[in-house]
Structure 1
Amino acid sequence: MMNTEAVTPETLDWENLGFSYIKTDYRYVSYWKDGEWDEGELTRDNQVHISEGSTALHYGQSCFEGMKAYRAADGSINLFRPYENAERMKRSCERLLMPAFPVERFVEAVRETVEANEQWVPPYGTGSTLYIRPYMIGVGDNIGVRAAPEYLFAIFVTPVGPYFKGGLTPSDFVVTQYDRAAPYGTGASKVGGNYGGSLLPGTEAKKRNFSDAIYLDPATHTKIEEVGSANFFGITHDDKFITPKSPSILPSITKYSLMYLAEHRLGLTVEEGDVYVDQLDRFKEAGACGTAAVISPIGGIQYGDDFHVFYSETEVGPVTKRLYNELIGIQYGDIAAPENWVVKV
C-alpha cells in the first residue's frame, strides 16, 4: 500500500497513477457561522476537526462535487465547466437545508486550490489529471434532528490516473433489485447518503464479476436510471443519443456535455426520455458517463436470466469512441471548446 505521506511530485510515476488518495500540499477551508461565510483560507492540515454532535455524522447533512484539472499541451491548466459544478452543489445544499457557497467564490476557491497545488497537476500526455473534491458538511454541537448550527466547506485535490488502463474497454453490468434513491428523495442531489446506499449492491455486482450495478427507477422498476454512480446513455440504430430523464437521477455535467457534442459535433438526434430495461435491442451502443471515467462503454447488461450485448464485449463502438475523443480533446485543450466550457487557472 502506498505511503501517501512520503509521496512527492518528484517521485510520482505520472503515467501509472491509480485512482486513489494522495495527500497534496494545500486544501481550501471556509466556515459558515451566524449566518455568513468567513473569508476562507488555504491550509496544509488534511485532517477535519469537528464536533461529535455534527449533523454530518448522524443525520447525513453532507454533499460534494467531483471535478478535474487538466494540463494542456502549452503547460497551462484547464478547469472543465466549473460553474456547472458550483450550481449543482448549490442545488444539493438547498435540498439539505445547507447554506450554499456562492458560485463565484466556489470557482475562485477551486482555482486558488489548484494553483496552490500546481506541482501536483500531472504533465500533459500522461493521461493523468488532478481530481478536485469540493464538499460541505454540517458541523457544530447538536443532538436533535435539525439543520446544523455551523457548516464547513472545503476543497482538496489529488492526482489520479486514467480510469481506463490501456484505453477504453467495455464493461459488463448487472441490474440490481436495490433502489439507489426514492422517487421524491435525494437522487438528483450529490449527497453522501446516495453513495453509502450503493456500496452493498455495487459489492454484490463485483462478486459476480460485473463492473457495477445498474439501478432501475424506484417507482416501477422498469426503466434504467443510473449505472453505478454514473449516468446511462445509448446510441440507437438510427443514430439517436438517448439518455434517461427522471427526477431521481443526478444530473451529470459530463452527460449534458455529451448531449451537446452528440448534437452539435456529431450530428446525432438527442433525447432525454424513458429507457426501458426490456427494450435494450433498440441500442447498438451504450455507455456510462461521469467525471471519473468520462465514458465507460457498456459491453453487456445482465437483467434476470437475460444477458444483452451491445456493440461488443471487447471493442468500443465507433460513436462512443468519437464522443470520448471529442470530450477529452476539449478538456485537455486540443480541440476547440464551446463557449465558457473551459476556465483557465
Structure 2
Amino acid sequence: MTAANFRIERNPNPTSDADLAKAFENPGFGNYFTDHMAMIDWTLAEGWQDPRIVPYGPLTLNPANAVFHYGQEIFEGLKAYRHADGSVHTFRPERNAARLQASARRLALPELPTELFVEAIRQLVQVDERWVPPHGKQQSLYLRPFMIANEDFLGVRAAETATFMVIACPVGSYFSDPTRPVNIWLETEYSRAGRGGTGSAKCGGNYAASMLPQRIAYDKGCEQVLFLDSCSETYLEELGGMNVVLVLDDGTVITPKSDSILPGITRDSVLELCEQAGRKVERRQISIAEWREGVESGRVAEAIAIGTAAVISPIGELRAPDFTITNPPVTEESFSMRIRSLLTGIQNGIEPDTNNWLVKLV
C-alpha cells in the first residue's frame, strides 16, 4: 500500500487556532489529541485493507470483542519534531515498526509491514501538521500507534480480525529540568514479567501488572518502580516504563540484559552514541548488589533512566525496604546529560544526523 491507497476523510469541525494555541501553552502528556487518526483493518482471509485517515473520535465495539476479554493489544510510542526550517521529522520509526512486529508475534496478532507503519504515521502527520509544536519550545508531537484484536467472539483463540491505529497529541518536556533526579522504589514482592512471558512485548498487560507496584512506589515517595528478575530476584530488569543504565568510573556504560525486558529504542540509540563516543558498552546481567556496592566504592559514577518520554533522567535514590542507594549527583556537564543533549539535538535538527536516524514526514 502507498500514500495513494490512503483514503482521507477530513474532520468537519477541526480545532480552532485559539484552542490549539491553548494546547501548546501547557500540553502535558495525552491531554489534547489531534483532529484525525489513522486506521487500517486486517482479516485472516484478506489481510491488511482500507488504510484511511478519519476524524478523531470514539470507537464502537461489541461487548464480546476479543480485546476486552483476552487482552490481545499492543502499542508503540514515538515523536515527530519540528525543525527550524519548518519541516517535520520522526526518529527511527523502522525500529518501532520492528518492535511492533515482534510484539504482534508474541500476542498472536498480525504483523504490520514496516512501510505501512511508516506511511500511516506520515499520512496522519501531514493531515495534522498544524498540531506539531513550533521549533525551539522543547515540545513535540507524540505518536501512539497501536493494534487491537476486534473479533466479536468469546472462544479462547487468536482473533481473526484486528485494527491498527495511530493517534497523536502534542507533548512538552517530560521533566522541566532534565538534571532533576527521580527516586526509584525497588519492588521485592511483585514481578513485571517472567521468563517466557510477554516482558519483551509492548502490550497493555505488562503495564497493567506494573500499576499496583507503581502505586506502592508513589506511597514511598518515589516516581518510578524498579523490577528484579522473577527467577532469582537478584538482577535488574527495568522500571515501570523506562530502561536502566549505569555509567562506571572508567567510562564503561552497562545496562541489564534479559529476555523479559522491552528492547528500548531510545536506550539503544543512547548506547550507540556512547559507543561512537569511544565508550565501552556492556549489555549483561547486573545484580542489585553490584549497583549498591558500586555506589559505595565509587565504581558507579552515574545512574540514569532512559525512555521515549523523558529521554534521559538521572536516578537520585533507589529505595528498598531495608536499604537506600544514594547515587552520585548528575549535572549538565555529566556524561549522560551531554549524551542527552546530543540525542535531543539530533531529533530536533540541531545536531547533524550522521547515523541517518531521522525520517522526514513533512
2:353 alignment partner AA: A
**How high is the TM-score relative to the length of structure 2?**
0.90
What SS does structure 1 have at the residue aligned with 2:254? strand
User: Is the CA contact (8 Å cut-off) linking 2:20 and 2:131 kept in structure 1?
Assistant: no
Give the match for residue 304 of structure 2: 287
* Post-superposition offset of 1:317: 6.5
What SS does structure 2 have at the residue aligned with 1:289? strand
1:56 pairs with 45, 60, 67, which one?
67
1:93 pairs with 85, 92, 104, which one?
104
User: Is the CA contact (8 Å cut-off) linking 1:170 and 1:298 kept in structure 2?
Assistant: yes
**How high is the TM-score relative to the length of structure 1?**
0.94
* Post-superposition offset of 1:337: 1.6
Deviates most, 182-191 or 166-175: 166-175
CA distance in structure 1 between the aligned counterparts of 2:301 and 2:178, rounded to whole angstroms: 21
User: Is the CA contact (8 Å cut-off) linking 1:135 and 1:155 kept in structure 2?
Assistant: yes
Give the match for residue 211 of structure 1: 223
CA distance in structure 2 between the aligned counterparts of 1:60 and 1:8, rounded to whole angstroms: 39
Give the match for residue 10 of structure 2: none
| Deviation >2 Å, runs of 4+ | 4-17, 314-317
User: Where in structure 2 are there 5+ consecutive unaligned residues?
Assistant: 1-13
Deviations 1:183-203 (A, max 9, x none): 110000001100011111001
Q: What is the aligned length?
A: 340
Structure 1 residues 15, 319: CA separation in 2 closer, same or farther (over 3 Å shift)?
Answer: farther
Give the match for residue 72 of structure 1: 83
Matches within 5 A, 1:144-223: 144-177=155-188, 178-223=190-235
2:39 pairs with 29, 53, 59, which one?
29
User: Is the CA contact (8 Å cut-off) linking 1:9 and 1:120 kept in structure 2?
Assistant: no
2:130 alignment partner AA: Q
* Post-superposition offset of 1:14: 2.8
User: Is the CA contact (8 Å cut-off) linking 1:169 and 1:316 kept in structure 2?
Assistant: no
2:168 alignment partner AA: V
CA distance in structure 1 between the aligned counterparts of 2:19 and 2:354, rounded to whole angstroms: 32
* Post-superposition offset of 1:130: 0.2
Structure 1 residues 273, 15: CA separation in 2 closer, same or farther (over 3 Å shift)?
Answer: farther
User: Is the CA contact (8 Å cut-off) linking 1:23 and 1:46 kept in structure 2?
Assistant: no
Deviations 1:93-145 (A, max 9, x none): 01111111111010011111111110000101111110000000001210111
Deviates most, 286-295 or 47-56: 47-56
CA distance in structure 2 between the aligned counterparts of 1:22 and 1:112, rounded to whole angstroms: 19
What SS does structure 2 have at the residue aligned with 1:11? helix
CA distance in structure 1 between the aligned counterparts of 2:303 and 2:15, rounded to whole angstroms: 40
CA distance in structure 2 between the aligned counterparts of 1:152 and 1:39, rounded to whole angstroms: 10
CA distance in structure 2 between the aligned counterparts of 1:13 and 1:40, rounded to whole angstroms: 28
CA distance in structure 2 between the aligned counterparts of 1:131 and 1:328, rounded to whole angstroms: 14
* Post-superposition offset of 1:21: 2.8
Matches within 5 A, 1:1-345: 10-12=20-22, 14=24, 16-33=26-43, 34-177=45-188, 178-264=190-276, 266-280=277-291, 281=294, 282-312=299-329, 315=331, 318-345=334-361
User: Is the CA contact (8 Å cut-off) linking 1:15 and 1:128 kept in structure 2?
Assistant: no
Q: Percent identity?
A: 39
1:239 alignment partner AA: G
User: Is the CA contact (8 Å cut-off) linking 1:29 and 1:41 kept in structure 2?
Assistant: yes
User: Is the CA contact (8 Å cut-off) linking 1:19 and 1:162 kept in structure 2?
Assistant: no
User: Is the CA contact (8 Å cut-off) linking 2:29 and 2:172 kept in structure 1?
Assistant: yes
Deviations 1:159-185 (A, max 9, x none): 011101134311110100210001110
* Post-superposition offset of 1:236: 0.5
CA distance in structure 1 between the aligned counterparts of 2:103 and 2:17, rounded to whole angstroms: 34
User: Is the CA contact (8 Å cut-off) linking 1:190 and 1:250 kept in structure 2?
Assistant: yes
Deviations 1:29-73 (A, max 9, x none): 111122411131011042112222222111110000000001111
Structure 1 residues 335, 231: CA separation in 2 closer, same or farther (over 3 Å shift)?
Answer: same
What SS does structure 1 have at the residue aligned with 2:246? strand
